[in-house]
Amino acid sequence: MVEYLYLFINVDKWVTDESATPFKSFMNIRFFDPEFLREVAHGIFTAFGAPAAEAAIVADHLVEASLMGMESHGVTRILQYTQEFKAGRVKPAAPITVDSETPTSAIVDAHLNFGQVGAHKLTDVAIAKAREHGVSIVTSRNFPHTGRLGAYTTKVAEAEMIGIATIAVPVLPSLGHFVVPFGGREGRLATNPVSWAAPGTDRPVVLDMSTATMAEGKIRAAHAEGQTLPPGNVIDAQGRAITDPKDFYGPPRGNILPLGGDLGYKGFGLGILTALLGSALGGENLTEVSEHHNNMAMIAISAASFPDPENFRQRVQENMDYLRSSPPAEGFDEVLIPGEPEFRKYEERIRTGIPLPEKTTWAEICMIAREFGVSTSVP
């Protein structure tokens, strides 16, 4: 199996970008029924030994991310999770435990069960504690890759709360840290995301952002497609600004800048917060090499602790309407509130299906399915 190489390619760009036509035809994009992909994923994860309900959590999560246009967190991750399952770094059906519990806090240990299974449990615990005590913080232990962080803050928002979540990635044996501190030239952080969500009257408002300028997956995709990177995101091993992905992969390998450009101390500072909440608080140290992927923290704040919770959604919505009422700047059609682009893509793909490169990602998923006796014939 080609390790990771095609995992994060920006399929959506090919579909809309004329200049990518030769590559697109080479990759042979095909649109898949989400329900079919969900069944294939579910079949594979149950074949790994996951109970049906847990396999469904992971399959639903990946298909939803693909529907939202977040390829890097979508069904292509089946490839990574299979590798990790085979290497013993994902242990389906492992018991999830709730440790170090207080009325307002806990540490959820996934014992290397799928990250999504751990993160849903962690989120449920955070919601239950905030429902009873107003506010809570729950952190993780032994979580593999949890997927799209916004999925979990959205779940908190649906419970009439504000959810604030972070993920810090420890030093992984294969990848190390490739986001530099502001003013530094060697990686000391990952692209550690921050997400928050709140309920609106139409749908939740969801911010889900990396604290770096660029995901490593996007550099990989540009590399595979022979394209250059937008300036201001990536540096080579000497700390010089680069736009050619070749110079990033070296060797020696380059690094990614924190969010903010000249104000990169802001992205750097937010990245550190993810490390303190997800690791230092719970007793871990991000500087140690770790086999597990994601150190997660969730803060849940119930609107019910504050006056007038009945109208909380309405107030959020009024604020969003006010923001949206700004006329667009040059080059924009309208102001979109956080989460709106993903919800729109979701609605589009529910109709069009999910695009996947047939000769790489889909072919590899089929190989895995065959290996585990899961059917991939389109019904």
Q: Return the residues of window 260-299 that contact its own copies according to CB under 8 A.
A: 260-263, 265-266, 268-270, 272-273, 275-277, 279-287, 299
Q: How many CA atoms lie within 13 A of 186 on its CB side?
A: 2
CA nearest to 67, candidates 336, 348, 358: 348
Residues 6 or more apart whose Cβ sits within 8 Å of residue 363 = none
The single residue among 30, 203, 315, 359 that binds its own copies, judged by CB under 8 A, is 315
Q: Partners of 99 in the beta sheet?
A: 107
* Residue 62 burial (10 A CB sphere; 0-12, 13-18, 19+): buried
| Beta carbon nearer to its own copies, 71 or 236 | 236
Least distance between its own copies and beta carbon 221 (Å): 17
The single residue among 78, 151, 165, 189 that binds its own copies, judged by CB under 8 A, is 189
Name which of residues 41 to 100 contact its own copies (CB under 8 A): 100
Selected range binding its own copies among 25-33, 117-125, 257-265, 360-368, rule: CB under 8 A = 257-265
How many chain residues touch its own copies (CB under 8 A)?
Answer: 88
| Beta carbon nearer to its own copies, 278 or 353 | 278
In terms of C-beta distances under 8 Å and separation of at least 24 residues, what long-range contacts does 302-311 make, across chains too? 302/130, 302/131, 302/134, 302/135, 302/159, 302/160, 302/161, 303/160, 303/161, 303/162, 304/131, 304/134, 304/160, 305/134, 305/135, 309/160
Least distance between its own copies and beta carbon 243 (Å): 14
Least distance between its own copies and beta carbon 196 (Å): 5
Phi, psi of 27 (to 5 degrees): -80, -20
Site for its own copies contains 10 (CB under 8 A): no
| Beta carbon nearer to its own copies, 46 or 295 | 295
Site for its own copies contains 182 (CB under 8 A): yes
Name which of residues 193 to 222 contact its own copies (CB under 8 A): 196, 198, 205, 207, 209, 213
Name which of residues 116 to 155 contact its own copies (CB under 8 A): 133-137, 139
